[in-house]
């Protein structure tokens, strides 16, 4: 896709009343097809259909919303009849394959609307302005601060960036590692594993430009579901030696096709050198899926970690109840007293064989407080500085 409603609106405003390289706007509404919007591969296929039709006719396709696509193209009078029919035929074929039960209920007259921009440019701009305002309200495009929340189409943008760069290029650009190390008093840190992850700040400056990416965003799990198979597929590029590593995955991704392929690629060692981390928020969202994922990882010889445990949750969350090998507690200066109050909770987990890691440690204070509550495994920028 060439952009969103704001991008297309900018293009049309720049054209004004002048004759441009495109003369027709096709507005496609997918809502009546009732296709599953969370099927990323299906949405990619639909996006590619529109992009291909646009390219052939000297134009481009724009994602106005999850269910609305605009195609601008240079069409003759005859094309203005043929191209909408061509788009409909492509969509009906997809519908027949994916949801044939919806076919009879579709109102064909509502799927594609054609606007002649040589005579109706003002109307086209007004239509897109309404879309832009709606998208701002929904966080689909940027607001006044220049940033927008994660949107349903962002996974598609990430996959497009990956397809363009390839495994090696994407891994080299976006994937970073951080050491997990045992640190005792007056002893050089001993690295026990490296966590590999996609740097969201880099993703937000490029593939997801102007997107405000936060773990608390309701659509963040959807973004991670997109990234998980990419991370698994790129494994040999960011960890070519196959050293002990940690990968953050969702329970849904564990056991999926990409995961199975990843395990097969590990050879006889299977997951003996892999720590699969699952965020506490994902674990709590569906405990049964977590338990199934935990069993699947251990069945392949892997290690299970519960990640992003907020210190404030230690008084109500039973770390031992997750039956994980590792629990990663997030360091925050505001959580000093909370960690101290829950020292017994940490010790109980350690006594049950769970390695407790204090992660995101960015200062000596975090290291000192962690040691005071009995933690000996750490991760974060301060740890990286110590290893230099």
So what's the pLDDT on residue 134? 61
Strand partners, 136: none
Q: Tell me the C-alpha distance between 123 and 78, whole Å.
A: 22
Contact 126, 5 (CB under 8 A): no
Q: What's the confidence (pLDDT) of residue 43?
A: 85
Per-residue model confidence as pLDDT tens digits over 301-345: 999 999 999 998 998 888 999 999 999 999 988 889 999 999 999
In this prediction, residue 143 carries a pLDDT of 45
Q: Which residue bears the tokens 């690295």?
A: 191
Measured torsion, CA atoms of residues 272, 275, 281, 282, in degrees rounded to the nearest 10: -40
pLDDT class of 154 with cuts at 50, 70, 90: confident
- Residues 236-248 have pLDDT tens digits of 999 999 999 999 9
pLDDT mean over 207-218: 78
pLDDT at 299 over 80: yes
Per-residue pLDDT tens for 36-70?
A: 776 778 888 999 999 999 999 999 999 887 788 99
Q: Which is more confidently placed, 256 or 126?
A: 256
**Which residues fall within 8 angstroms of residue 133, CB to CB, at 6 or more apart?**
none
What's the pLDDT score for residue 230?
96
User: With bands split at pLDDT 50, 70 and 90, how would you rate the model's confidence at 188?
Assistant: confident
Question: How many residues does the structure list for the chain?
Answer: 388
Q: Which residue has the tokens 């074929």?
A: 93
Q: What is the mean pLDDT of residues 364-387?
A: 93
- Contact of 379 with 178, CB cutoff 8 Å: yes
pLDDT at 87 exceeding the cut of 60: yes
Q: What is the pLDDT of residues 107-151, one digit of tens each?
A: 887 889 898 888 888 878 887 877 666 655 555 554 444 567 777
> Pairing mode, if any, of strands 175-182 and 377-379?
antiparallel
- The contacts of residue 176 (CB under 8 Å, 6+ apart) are 196, 197, 198, 199
Q: What pLDDT score does 144 carry?
A: 42
* Mean pLDDT computed over 210-223: 79
> What percent of the chain stands above pLDDT 90?
52
| pLDDT > 80? residue 290 | yes
What is the band of 186 on the pLDDT scale with cuts at 50, 70, 90?
Answer: low
Q: How many CB atoms lie within 10 A of CB 367?
A: 21
Average pLDDT over residues 215-235: 88
Cα separation, 163 vs 224, whole angstroms: 17
Q: What's the N-to-C CA distance of the chain in angstroms?
A: 43
d(CA 83, CA 50): 11
HEC states along the chain? Answer: CCCCHHHHHHHHHHHCCCCCCCCEEEEEECHHHCCCCCCHHHHHHHHHHHHHHHHHCCCEEEEEECCEEEEEECCCCCHHHHHHHHHHHHHHHHHHHHCHHHHHHCCHHHCEEEEEHHHHHHHHHHHHHHHHHHHHHHCCCCCCCCCECCCCCHHHHHHHHHHHHHHHHHHHHHEEEEEEEECCCCCCCEEEEEEEEECHHHHHCCCCCCECCCCCCCCHHHHHHHHHHHHHHCHHHHCCCCCCEEEECCCCCCCCHHHHHHHHHCHHHCCCCEEEEEEHHHHHHCHHHHHHHHHHHHHCCCEEEEEEECHHHCCCCCHHHHCCCEEEEECCHHHHHHHHHCHHHHHHHHHCCCEEEEECCCCHHHHHHHHHCCCCEEECHHHHHHHC
Domains annotated on the chain, with CATH = 5-138 (3.30.70.270), 166-387 (3.20.20.450)
């Amino acid at each position: 896709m060439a952009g969103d409603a704001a991008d297309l609106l900018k293009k049309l405003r720049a054209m004004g009343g002048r004759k441009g390289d495109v003369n027709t706007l096709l507005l496609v509404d997918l809502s009546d097809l009732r296709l599953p919007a969370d099927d990323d591969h299906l949405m990619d296929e639909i996006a590619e259909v529109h992009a291909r039709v646009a390219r052939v006719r000297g134009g481009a396709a724009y994602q106005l919303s999850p269910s609305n696509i605009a195609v601008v193209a240079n069409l003759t009078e005859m094309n203005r009849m043929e191209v909408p029919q061509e788009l409909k035929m492509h969509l009906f074929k997809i519908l027949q394959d994916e949801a044939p039960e919806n076919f009879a209920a579709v109102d064909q007259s509502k799927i594609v609307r054609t606007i002649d921009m040589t005579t109706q440019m003002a109307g086209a701009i007004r239509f897109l302005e309404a879309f832009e305002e709606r998208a701002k309200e929904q966080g689909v495009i940027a607001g006044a601060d220049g940033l927008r929340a994660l949107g349903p189409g962002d996974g598609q943008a990430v996959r497009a960036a990956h397809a363009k760069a390839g495994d090696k290029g994407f891994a080299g650009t976006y994937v970073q590692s951080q050491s997990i190390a045992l640190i005792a008093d007056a002893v050089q840190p001993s690295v026990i594993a490296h966590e590999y992850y996609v740097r969201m700040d880099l993703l937000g400056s490029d593939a997801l430009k102007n997107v405000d990416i936060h773990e608390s965003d309701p659509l963040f799990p959807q973004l991670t579901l997109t990234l998980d198979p990419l991370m698994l597929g790129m494994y040999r590029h960011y960890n070519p030696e196959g050293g002990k590593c940690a990968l953050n995955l969702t329970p849904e991704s564990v056991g999926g096709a990409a995961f199975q392929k990843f395990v097969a690629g590990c050879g006889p060692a299977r997951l003996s050198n892999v720590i699969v981390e699952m965020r506490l928020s994902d674990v709590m969202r569906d405990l049964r899926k977590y338990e199934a994922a935990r069993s699947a990882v251990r069945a392949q010889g892997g290690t299970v970690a519960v990640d992003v445990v907020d210190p404030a949750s230690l008084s109500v969350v039973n770390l031992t109840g997750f039956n994980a090998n590792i629990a990663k507690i997030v360091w925050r200066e505001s959580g000093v007293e909370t960690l101290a109050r829950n020292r017994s909770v940490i010790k109980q987990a350690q006594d049950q064989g769970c390695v407790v890691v204090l992660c995101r440690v960015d200062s000596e204070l975090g290291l000192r407080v962690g040691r005071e509550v009995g933690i000996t495994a750490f991760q974060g920028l301060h740890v990286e500085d110590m290893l230099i």
